[in-house]
Amino acid sequence: MADKDLYDDLYRGGYRSTMSGIELARAKGIDHFAKHVMQSGPVKMMLDYGSGAGMHIPIWQSLFPQSQFFFADLSSIALERLAEKHPQYKNNLYIIKDHNCADKGEQFDIITSVEVMEHVEDVDACSDPCPSVQWT
């Protein structure tokens, strides 16, 4: 079964729809890292690469309240779930295909990728997930 099919099936069943246990601890770690370690100017546009159904959206909204958010995942079911729960982002979704997302030429200030790389067979292929994006 291809990864897309596997994750589509998982998300149909409610996979990663809420934070619990390790996800809550990870959220605290992300918050700490963003506030105390990351050296970043204002984040106007952010991409969550491997967003799933949007479980981390509350974290991003808290950390980057002035940002416009975009989300990419290989599971179309995950992105459907994200759009159902957060309809304000329904036009900011990208399908990942062949390690890339077909972007619209946006300029992102930051790309996050939480719990993705350990599932990637060829990490080097993901080094530039949106090749036509211009980084600010």
Whether residue 30 lies inside any domain: the answer is: yes
- What CATH number is attached to the domain comprising 51? 3.40.50.150
Per-residue tokens: 136:
């600010």
Whether residue 136 lies inside any domain: the answer is: no
pLDDT in tens, 62-116: 999 999 999 999 999 999 999 999 999 999 999 988 767 766 677 888 888 887 6
What is the C-alpha separation between 56 and 28, in angstroms, rounded? 11
| CB contact at 8 A, 42 and 109 | yes
- Tell me which residue range forms the domain holding 65: 3-126
User: How many domains does one find in the chain?
Assistant: 1
Give residue for tokens 């350990």. 118
Query: Rounded to two decimals, what is the model's pTM?
Result: 0.80
Between vectors from CA 105 to CA 3 and to CA 55, what angle results, nearest 5°?
45
Residue with the larger pLDDT of the pair 128 and 6? 6
Supply φ then ψ for residue 78, to 5 degrees. -60, -45
